[in-house]
Amino acid sequence: MQEFDSLAKTLQPHYSRFDVANRLLFTGHSHQAWPDAAFDGVQEYMDMVAGQVDQKWGFGFEKTEIMRNYLRDFYDDPSGRYCREQNTHVLIVSWLSALDLKNRPKIITTTGEFHSMYRQLKSLESAGIEVVYLPHQNDDALLDLIKNELDERTSAVMLSRVYFETSEINTHLPKIAAVTKKAGVPLMVDDYHGTNVVPISFQKEQLEHVYMLIGGYKYLQWGEANCFLRYPADCQLRPVITGWFSAFEQLDHPRTNGPVQFDDGDQKFATATYDPISQFRAAAVTEFFREMGLTPKVLRNCYSSQLKYLRSLFDENNFEGSEIEHANLRPIEESGGFLALRSPHARNLRAALLEKGIFTDARDEIIRLGPAPYTTSQQCEEVISSLFDVLNDLQKKV
């Protein structure tokens, strides 16, 4: 029995609707199961909205504040602002619209960014914005490259804290933040694979000036439509693309010919009307996490132990000529919450595993196995055993 088994066994009864004890759900890096509390949150919303009708918004905002406080605790960030939106893409677009791209038409990013950021930057590039794609594999080299690329034409630096394909942690983020701050260039960090996996203190690392994208779809178990843009309390950026939920408190004010105004608070980069049912679901999960004692330290220890065990199982089973290898060779402390393996058969492996009812994920030549706090060592053993069974079957057909 591994050290994470005790936690998993404690949690599994609380995930009965997803039946996590009897299923091999290894897309924890993409979509974790929701606890039964999430379904209670949905029912709470249905009952509330039936009674409150158009007065529902205030109740939804209260639920959002529960999530904000959770994030402020996780990031040790009491002064940060947290703007909630449906997905990280709309937050990226709103934020980009606040940059002076006309006079500073250069954005620095890396080759390891997720689709939302990468696709939008490629589109901006086709419209005339200069986008510099730096190799991300070596943290020392990346830091030096960013230093060399920063100039008076640079509007922003945009990169990840944990890379989505390989689970490698950008270990020099505080140094990059210091460099960009000195240059007066905003830093946007995608932390979809860091939140609830790799703790970091904004106060200790002096990151209060950083902008950060946070998604609830994966390790937070909040499900869809619960994403946040963390921004500094003294943020001077004014998004050009802006919806009326960024000025919700001003609805009763008369219109003027003056400039567009924003509410004080956390919703500066917000858009417009959305379905608040997601907030009730997520707030219920947030409270469940607190009740179960799933602190940043507990979660980090869990994911690190699971990743270490998955790596050892893979190494024990791998064989010469298998055509599969680690895509991430960094030590555990420099890795996030999933196992990344490289194989020319990655997509076929994923499809074959899914036929057996085993949920994994593949990106190009990388297959990813993502456990969750409710995943046991036996389930880890079963998924690695099945992976090699499928691999052997595929090779026989070649």
Whether residue 48 is contained in a domain is answered as no
Whether residue 246 is contained in a domain is answered as yes
CATH number for the domain harbouring residue 239: 3.40.640.10
Whether residue 109 is contained in a domain is answered as yes
With cut-offs at 50, 70 and 90, classify the pLDDT of residue 252.
low
Do residues 105 and 229 share a domain?
yes
Whether residue 49 is contained in a domain is answered as no
Q: What is the pLDDT of residue 370?
A: 98
Are 146 and 134 contacting, i.e. CB atoms less than 8 angstroms apart? yes
Q: With 80 as the cut, is the pLDDT of residue 249 above it?
A: no
What is the chain's percent helix, strand, coil content, to nearest 5?
45, 15, 40
Boundary-marking domain end, from 219, 242, 275:
275
Average pLDDT over residues 323-344: 97
Whether residue 41 is contained in a domain is answered as no
For residue 159, the one-letter residue type is: L
Do residues 262 and 345 share a domain?
no
Burial 67-82 (b: 16+ CB within 10 A, else e): bbebbbebbbbeebbb
With cut-offs at 50, 70 and 90, classify the pLDDT of residue 257.
confident
Alpha-carbon gap, residue 368 to 114, rounded angstroms? 14
Whether residue 287 is contained in a domain is answered as no
Question: What range defines the domain where residue 349 resides?
Answer: 5-35+295-397
Q: What is the pLDDT of residue 349?
A: 96
- Cα–Cα distances (Å) from 133 to 90, 164, 344, in that order, read 22, 16, 25
Alpha-carbon gap, residue 231 to 18, rounded angstroms? 35
Do residues 268 and 387 share a domain?
no
pLDDT in tens, 147-206: 999 999 999 999 999 999 999 999 999 999 999 999 999 999 999 999 999 999 999 999
pLDDT in tens, 284-325: 999 999 999 999 999 999 999 999 999 999 999 999 889 999
Stretch among 32-36, 50-54, 143-147 having the lowest mean pLDDT: 50-54
Do residues 332 and 232 share a domain?
no
pLDDT in tens, 340-392: 999 999 999 999 999 999 999 998 999 999 999 999 999 999 999 999 999 98
Phi, psi of 46 (to 5 degrees): -60, -40
**Nearest Cα to 164, choosing from 228, 225, 123, 116?**
116
Count the neighbouring beta carbons within 10 Å of the beta carbon of residue 31.
17
Domains identified in the chain, total number: 2
Do residues 20 and 90 share a domain?
no
Alpha-carbon gap, residue 75 to 319, rounded angstroms? 41
Are 234 and 211 contacting, i.e. CB atoms less than 8 angstroms apart? no
Do residues 337 and 261 share a domain?
no
Boundary-marking domain end, from 225, 246, 275:
275
**Nearest Cα to 326, choosing from 380, 118, 318?**
318
Whether residue 51 is contained in a domain is answered as no
Do residues 24 and 112 share a domain?
no
Q: Beta strand 227-231 with 211-215: parallel, antiparallel or unpaired?
A: antiparallel
Beta-bridge partner residues of 358: 24
Count the neighbouring beta carbons within 10 Å of the beta carbon of residue 1.
9
Alpha-carbon gap, residue 160 to 146, rounded angstroms? 14
Beta-bridge partner residues of 168: 335
Q: With 90 as the cut, is the pLDDT of residue 397 above it?
A: no
Boundary-marking domain end, from 244, 275, 306:
275
- The interaxial angle of helices 173-183 and 139-149, nearest 10 deg, is 10
Do residues 128 and 156 share a domain?
yes
pLDDT in tens, 89-133: 999 999 999 999 999 999 999 999 999 999 999 999 999 999 999
Q: What is the pLDDT of residue 251?
A: 66
Q: With 90 as the cut, is the pLDDT of residue 70 above it?
A: yes
Count the neighbouring beta carbons within 10 Å of the beta carbon of residue 352.
19
- Between residues 258 and 362, which one has the greater pLDDT? 362
Alpha-carbon gap, residue 160 to 110, rounded angstroms? 8
Count the neighbouring beta carbons within 10 Å of the beta carbon of residue 316.
8
With cut-offs at 50, 70 and 90, classify the pLDDT of residue 261.
confident
Do residues 191 and 334 share a domain?
no
CATH number for the domain harbouring residue 25: 3.90.1150.10
Whether residue 385 is contained in a domain is answered as yes
Do residues 232 and 329 share a domain?
no
Tokens standing for residue 43: 């029912």
Do residues 80 and 168 share a domain?
yes
Are 261 and 314 contacting, i.e. CB atoms less than 8 angstroms apart? no
Do residues 238 and 116 share a domain?
yes
